[in-house]
């Protein structure tokens, strides 16, 4: 490798956000191919910016020749990429970022829209360099900001200097940490890697990355990978050739170990400028190894199999679901991968790229779920995870609310009985609940909450393969003035005898009066419109009296209960005799309502006592 890599060689990189699930370095099967962007001269410094590959090459324009070289100056070029890193367009010169001298190392921060660019004329990139003497030119890093489809200069790094070079920027995904190369005094070798942290608009003084990274030789071309590692080139740690590629975790700790790339990545020549795609399946590097097209060439690194984690969840609890069976099926119906998810709900699968798959997952007591996986799309390759949410065979879910305004009731108790066992669950802060059911069962759920009149819900899963029972359960407050329509307190036509379901509801009311001894109530009974006014008034009074006496029989003081009959004077529908109504509509009018006349209720809520 020539001295141009210290002073004039350039490198473009983009910092990639997010934590990758697989390390690019761990790939066993990797293909290394040259790209058709290479020329007979020097092409290097690849960088992935969105759907494009940026790189450096000698300019082919006249008037860009160096007085001290028989070649021309480095310029920035770009080509379009597909999801698999293959070049899709002709190379194009980036004229908007070309100055009057060498362009160089570039790092783009997507979160801040900033471009960190190495330029040889960093003191004023817009000025002609014709008066500069080559040996006195120092490299500096200039910050540009994105403006539409172009960039405009924003600032220069405060530690740029006319006494030494600052180059090869690598920026963190958040834009607050910069790694770069410099030959400033006090380093370990000819060039070292440093970092600086930005706080607001201020950059900290450069900090040397230390002996884990820097040697007595040259370190350069840093890249911050999405998996939290720093990739760089060095000729000071031994290896296959002159410049070799290494990696280490970043930030670098005392316990950090430096690793080297295996396989064919490092050669007998110079290997440098590696960048890795966010999907951790594709990367690029430069090398002057034998067999290339020119001085330095850009190479495509591609892992042969795409590795994904299939993660299974319960759609009921949104928690991981271990032990699920997974089959990945291609478009021909062939099972490409299969297995069971581990204790973390994960199954690693390796799949051939540029294909479409269906991920099918099943688990005991859960319904089968299929999810499409399209490896022809770039965004799919970036995700690296396939999440599958399985629905239980039967689910009882819903929300418990105050009937006045549907305000959620947290910590409501749901006692769930299937005739043989009873299970209890509580609502969350939003009053919601979920519960897995079994097949061929009949369920009764008693719902209660402090300062509320409870209720019950009944349903069954008999003869059903699957189902979701979704309820909005409304409870009546026990505050004074509340009016509670008792569920199931209905009567046969012309009768006042209590039906079995009515007794169960009155038992619930008696229990409330027992738990809240300060409550006094009025029982109101109503009839339908059939029969005379006198008959209906007498019938409704008998119904109220029957309900009241039943409650008294449960040990409740008669002084706490009043009852009254309203006959057909307060119908809940339009069945007043002027229109024809069904028996069910008339049935709705034959009802009993409880009014809370007096209440000094103690309400418990998260350990606090409230008095009303």
DSSP-derived secondary structure for 197-248: EEETTEEPPPEE--TTT--SSBEEEEEE-TTSEEEEEESSS--SSSSEEEEE
pLDDT for the residue 133: 35
Distance CA 479, CA 23 (A): 62
- ∠ CA 254-258-261 to the nearest 5 degrees? 165
Report DSSP letters for 258-285, one per residue: -EE--TTSS-SS-EEEEEE-TTSSEEEE
**CATH fourth-level superfamily of 394-477:** Carboxypeptidase-like, regulatory domain (2.60.40.1120)
Show the tokens assigned to 317.
């609890």
Residues 304, 31: Cα–Cα separation, whole Å = 7
Return the H-helix or E-strand segment holding 7.
Answer: helix 4-7
What is the distance of C-alpha 388 from the center of its chain? 13
Please report the pLDDT score of residue 381 as a whole number: 62
Q: Is 477 exposed, middle or buried (0-12, 13-18, 19+ CB in 10 A)?
A: buried
pLDDT, position 99 = 58
**Left, alpha or beta for 113 (phi > 0: left; psi -120 to 50: alpha)?**
left
Q: CATH 2.60.40.10 occupies which residues in the chain? A: 307-390
Domain with CATH 2.120.10.30 in the chain: 4-303
The residue with tokens 């494009």 is 52
Q: What b/e string do you get for 226-250 counting C-beta neighbours within 10 Å, with b at 16 or more?
A: bbebbbbbbbbeebbbbbbbbbbbb
The tokens 């050669």 sit on which residue?
267
Q: What percent of the chain has pLDDT over 90?
A: 54
**Segments of the chain scoring below 50 in pLDDT:** 1-22, 61-71, 127-135, 602-612
**H or E segment to which residue 436 belongs:** strand 432-436
The dotted CATH code for 4-303 is 2.120.10.30
d(CA 542, CA 550): 12
Say if residue 371 is exposed, middle or buried (CB neighbours under 10 Å; 0-12, 13-18, 19+).
Answer: middle
Q: Say how far apart CA 305 and CA 301 lie, in whole Å.
A: 12
The answer to whether the CB of 374 falls within 8 A of the CB of 380 is yes
Which architecture, in CATH terms, is 481-612?
2-Layer Sandwich (3.30)
What length is written for the chain? 612
In CATH, which superfamily holds the domain spanning 307-390? Immunoglobulins (2.60.40.10)
Check residue 308 and give its pLDDT: 87
Torsion of CA 332, 335, 336, 339, to 10 degrees: 160
Residue pair 246/258 in contact by the 8 Å Cβ criterion: yes
The tokens describing 592, both together, are 């009993």
Whole-prediction pTM:
0.53
Query: Which residue, 117, 109, 223, is CA-closest to 174?
Result: 109
DSSP-H helix ranges across 495-607: 500-515, 533-552, 583-589
Residues of the chain with CATH 3.30.1330.60: 481-612
Q: Per-residue DSSP letters for 295-362?
A: SBEEEEEEESEEEEEEEEEETTT--B-TT-EEEEEETTS-EEEEEE--TTSEEEEEEESS-EEEEEEE
Task: Quote the pLDDT of residue 203.
Answer: 97
Q: Are strands 467-477 and 394-402 parallel, antiparallel or unpaired?
A: parallel
Q: Which residue has the tokens 């012309």?
A: 494
């Amino acid at each position: 490798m020539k001295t141009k890599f210290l002073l004039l060689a350039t490198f473009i990189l983009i910092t990639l956000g997010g934590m990758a699930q697989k390390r690019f370095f761990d790939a066993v099967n990797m293909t290394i191919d040259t790209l058709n962007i290479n020329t007979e001269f020097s092409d290097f410094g690849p960088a992935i910016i969105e759907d494009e590959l940026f790189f450096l090459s000698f300019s082919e324009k006249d008037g860009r020749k160096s007085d001290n070289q028989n070649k021309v100056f480095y310029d920035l070029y770009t080509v379009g990429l597909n999801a698999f890193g293959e070049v899709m367009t002709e190379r194009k010169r980036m004229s908007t970022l070309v100055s009057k001298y060498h362009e160089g190392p570039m790092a783009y921060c997507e979160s801040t829209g900033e471009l960190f660019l190495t330029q040889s004329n960093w003191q004023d990139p817009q000025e002609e360099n014709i008066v500069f003497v080559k040996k006195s030119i120092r490299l500096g890093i200039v910050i540009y900001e994105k403006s539409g489809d172009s960039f405009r200069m924003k600032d220069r790094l405060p530690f740029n200097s006319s006494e030494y070079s600052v180059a090869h920027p690598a920026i963190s995904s958040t834009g607050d940490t910069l790694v770069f190369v410099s030959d400033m005094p006090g380093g370990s070798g000819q060039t070292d890697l440093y970092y600086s942290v930005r706080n607001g608009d201020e950059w900290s003084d450069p900090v040397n990355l230390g002996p884990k990274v820097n040697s007595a030789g040259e370190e350069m071309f840093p890249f911050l990978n999405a998996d939290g590692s720093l990739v760089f080139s060095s000729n000071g740690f031994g290896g296959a050739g002159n410049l070799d590629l290494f990696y280490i975790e970043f930030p670098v700790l005392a316990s950090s170990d430096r690793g080297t790339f295996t396989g064919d990545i490092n050669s007998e020549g110079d290997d440098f400028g590696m960048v890795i795609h966010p999907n951790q399946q594709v990367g690029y590097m430069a090398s002057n190894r034998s067999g290339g097209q020119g001085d330095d060439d850009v190479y495509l690194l591609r892992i042969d199999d795409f590795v994904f984690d299939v993660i299974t969840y319960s759609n009921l609890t949104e928690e991981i679901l271990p032990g699920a069976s997974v089959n990945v099926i291609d478009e021909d119906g062939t099972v490409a991968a299969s297995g069971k998810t581990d204790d973390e709900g994960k199954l690693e699968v390796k799949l051939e790229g540029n294909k479409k798959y269906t991920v099918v997952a099943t688990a005991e007591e859960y319904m089968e779920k299929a999810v499409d996986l399209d490896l022809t799309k770039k965004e799919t390759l970036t995700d690296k995870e396939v999440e599958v949410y399985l629905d239980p065979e039967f689910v009882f879910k819903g929300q418990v609310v105050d009937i006045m305004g549907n305000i959620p009731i947290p910590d409501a108790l749901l006692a769930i009985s299937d005739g043989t066992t009873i299970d209890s669950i509580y609502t969350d802060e939003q009053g919601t609940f979920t519960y897995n059911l079994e097949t061929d069962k009949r369920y009764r759920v008693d719902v209660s909450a402090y300062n509320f009149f409870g209720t019950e819900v009944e349903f069954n899963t008999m003869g059903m393969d699957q189902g979701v029972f979704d309820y909005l359960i409304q409870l009546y407050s026990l505050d004074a003035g509340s009016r509670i329509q008792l569920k199931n307190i209905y009567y046969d036509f012309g009768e006042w005898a209590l039906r079995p379901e009515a007794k169960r509801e009155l038992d619930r009311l008696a229990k409330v009066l027992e738990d809240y001894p300060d409550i006094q109530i009025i029982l109101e009974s109503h009839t339908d419109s059939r029969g005379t006014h006198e008959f209906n008034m007498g019938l409704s009074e008998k119904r109220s009296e029957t309900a009241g006496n039943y409650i008294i029989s449960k040990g409740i003081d008669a002084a706490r209960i009043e009852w009254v009959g309203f006959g057909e004077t307060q119908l809940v529908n339009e069945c007043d005799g002027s229109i024809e109504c069904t028996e069910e509509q008339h049935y709705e009018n034959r009802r009993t309502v409880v009014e809370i006349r007096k209440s000094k209720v103690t309400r418990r809520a998260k350990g606090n006592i409230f008095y009303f």
